[in-house]
Structure 1
């Protein structure tokens, strides 16, 4: 059955804003987008669902760890990243597959209530995590994570386990591969993960250049991560060789990691050369500024990414290191950071909202989400903003981010594949 979702303002994102607009949906696809009057005239018998507020594409979360939703107490530790990750490892050991499943379900519900309809989700424990994610119908890619692997453990069991997990994923959920970082995955293992993913036509999503300790490890093979890998009994080339003399981005590029099938989480410590490498290889960054702040990792150079037209999406990371799974709140924080870094162009609001929709879609290579246009998946979100009667199509981008920054926004509805799954 066809449904017309109408609102005072429609932001297709892939096209200009529409006042008194509407989106015509048939099943799980968008048929048309345009002025409400025109679509009603062409479809007089259609069932209409009239929303107040601003109607947008479903938001696209470019980086998350949904299984860590129940790790919320870790985001208030006030400890640097290398200390926080040790606490994370300790808490992980207390969880069962059933607990991972419950934690993931809670994260999925939080995302849907925030208007997020697609996610790049890092999955370390797929037995518990993948079934509820697949059942939810949320779009995006689940990336099977490889972590704490050196050449020995990889050859003994790690490689076979990855292949098994990729072969046994649930129907209805796209899978990818996530070699965690250059400090928890040996170089040869990292390269093999990339080769496996590309042989199977799967996308890749590593963490890159997140913290100063990572940069030190890759450059010189020293620092807290070298100490922890040695304590774990891992034999890593970068420790053995005294580092690579390179930044994390340049090191992974030397390994042949980067290409248009990759998007990289965080990308905080990226200088102009690093950013040029990412652009040249077609790699999107997934920026998670609130997580970086909590973990004392630094600030992503979002103003530089904007000025240089470097592609990026926006991620929430997990509740273990961020105050919420609300992507509009994350987008508002990123806008504030861009302004503090000197970005003054009047396209800022639009480009930040684009990053929360089209950016996440591009990061995962998805052409039918993060936009409202014929043929796209019927994923929609509706948001209220204060004094909505004074919001114009041209000011709607800024109004959304202003409300999120003030905590006065509300997701009135989330439509996933044509079905209303949340009403505010």
Structure 2
């Protein structure tokens, strides 16, 4: 099958006017020029990769519809909704919510497809959320709430039973420095690497996280104590290390790991992430919902850090439209003084090639080149051969009209023109 469009953005190469994408057995055979068996009116782009989300929380959109004064305020609101009235005592083995996580995941998948997303880094906390999906990417099994003692007594064996029941493509997500004890984080990272599993962790989401890991004090320490977490950081008065250096000391960072958020990153933090080959999934609209400043995208771009883009979940973001987060990153970068003419191209690359690299799927997804999976999206945009990436970033949010995964049309807008 040959698909064509007035403009094709393969991401692995330059834009192609009057482009074609030839597909066989779900893979790209050729990208060229001409007229296809199926012609799409608009801009055809390599499938978007959402590098950080929790699709099971799609039903919790009410939590994400307001702007909070702090991460901690949002966290308390989220927990009240998750537990149906309050967290009570935290037991990671018997934690039960009041939500239909499978229904939330299915709706999240449907919404992702409508926005042109073809692959995700999806964090799953409740196994009920593991449902069939056409989306590619990596699913990460999350763990949180264990002290070193509870991990030794029961948590480790429970987590391993869950992990061993999942296929080898499933990664591991130790939630964050403030929801797991130091020994647990180190052991989870070692377990993942022993089994060839990728790692994904929330890190440096707010400045309060820095105070927590350095000194074991501040709002996040208070939050941890409210859950009756008995962590060494709280007992010892911190580690003396900033969050990125702290996770590195536990053996977490590496090219097989990517972090989410990275809002509070200084020059030393960014340099350490570069040295370890660890990518950052930026989620600016989620940060805004939580009352947080956006990430330092201008510095990350200028210094050459590996970046990707995520929406986070609807419990902390207004939509699962990845291009809306790309547009928010553009606004941040310009406000932070980024002046490079390559801004739009690099941000679209972050949402495609960058996401693929963060998930360890370079060449498989996020691009259109021979051998890659035939994933792409079509946007209702006038082709602009001079500034194609600028038009996609500025006008693309909300204008996806078709999504194709593995060569199969998995979503199409009823009014989209498909000429055969």
TM-score scaled to structure 2, two decimals? 0.93
Aligned pairs for 1:11-26 (under 5 A) are 11-26=9-24
Corresponding residue for 2:385?
393
- Write out aligned runs for 1:45-64 (5 A): 48-64=37-53
Where does residue 118 of structure 2 map in the other structure? 117
Find the counterpart in structure 2 of residue 381 from structure 1: 377
> How far off is 1:36 after superposition?
1.9
- Tell me which residue corresponds to 1:129: 129
Q: Kindly tell me: are residues 357 and 97 of structure 1, through their superposed partners in 2, closer, same or farther at Cα, counting changes over 3 Å?
A: farther
- Which residue is equivalent to 1:188? 183
Match of 1:66 among 55, 73, 92: 55
CA-to-aligned-CA distance 1:313-359 (integer Å, 9 cap, x gap): 00000011111100111111111111111001100010000000001
User: Residue in 2 aligned with 1:354?
Assistant: 349
Residue among 132, 139, 143 paired with 2:136:
139
> How big is the shift at 1:53?
0.6
1:276 alignment partner in structure 2? 271
Q: How many angstroms does 1:11 deviate by?
A: 0.3
Separation in 2 of the partners of 1:234 and 1:329? 36
Q: Is 2:233 the partner of 1:241?
A: no
* C-alpha displacement of 1:97: 8.1
Per-residue deviation, 1:140? 0.5
- Match of residue 90 from structure 1: 80
**2:61 aligned counterpart, secondary structure:** helix
Structure 1: how far apart are the matches of 2:386 and 2:275? 33
Instruction: Look up the match of 1:178.
Output: 173
Distance (Å, rounded) in 1 between the aligned partners of 2:393 and 2:29: 28
Contact 2:353–2:366 (CA under 8 A) maintained in structure 1: yes
Q: Secondary structure at the match of 1:206?
A: strand
Contact kept, 8 Å, 1:77 with 1:84, in 2: the verdict is no
Q: Distance in 1 between matches of 2:99 and 2:135?
A: 20
- The reply to whether residue 164 of structure 1 matches residue 148 of structure 2 is no
Count residues in correspondence. 400
Query: Whole-Å Cα distance in 2 between the matches of residues 92 and 319 of structure 1?
Result: 13
**Is 1:260 aligned to 2:255, yes or no?**
yes
| Corresponding position of 1:328 | 323
What is the aligned counterpart of 1:318 among 313, 319, 337?
Answer: 313
Q: Is contact 2:82-2:99 (8 Å) kept?
A: no
Q: 1:97 to 1:142 in 2, by over 3 A?
A: farther
Q: Distance in 2 between matches of 1:17 and 1:78?
A: 38
Cα deviation for residue 231 of structure 1 reads 2.7
Q: Which moved more, 1:84-93 or 1:143-152?
A: 84-93
Q: How does 1:97-112 map to 2 (within 5 A)?
A: 99-112=100-113
Question: What stretches of structure 1 of length at least 5 have no aligned partner?
Answer: 41-47
Query: In the alignment, does 2:301 pair up with 1:306?
Result: yes
Equivalent pair of 1:97/1:125 in contact (CA under 8 Å): no
C-alpha distance in structure 1 between counterparts of 2:67 and 2:375, whole Å: 37
Q: Distance in 2 between matches of 1:15 and 1:78?
A: 39
**CA pair 10-108 structure 1, distance change in 2 beyond 3 A:** same
Q: 1:340 aligns with which of 331, 335, 340?
A: 335
Please give the per-residue CA displacement for 1:2-47, whole angstroms capped at 9, x wherever unaligned.
Answer: x11100000000100000001000121111001125xx6xxxxxxx
Asked if 1:423 corresponds to 2:420, the answer is no
Determine helix, strand or coil for the equivalent of 2:344: helix
Cα distance in 1 between the residues matched to 2:158 and 2:74: 27
Contact 1:291 1:317 in 2 (8 A): yes
Residue-by-residue CA offset, 1:53-72 (whole Å, 9 max, x unaligned): 10011100000010111111
Q: Deviations over 1:209-261 (max 9, x none)?
A: 00122111111101122122223222111111111122100111111211111
SS across alignment from 1:55: strand
- 3-state DSSP class of the match of 1:205? strand
TM-score by length of 1: 0.92
Runs of 4 or more above 6 Å deviation = none
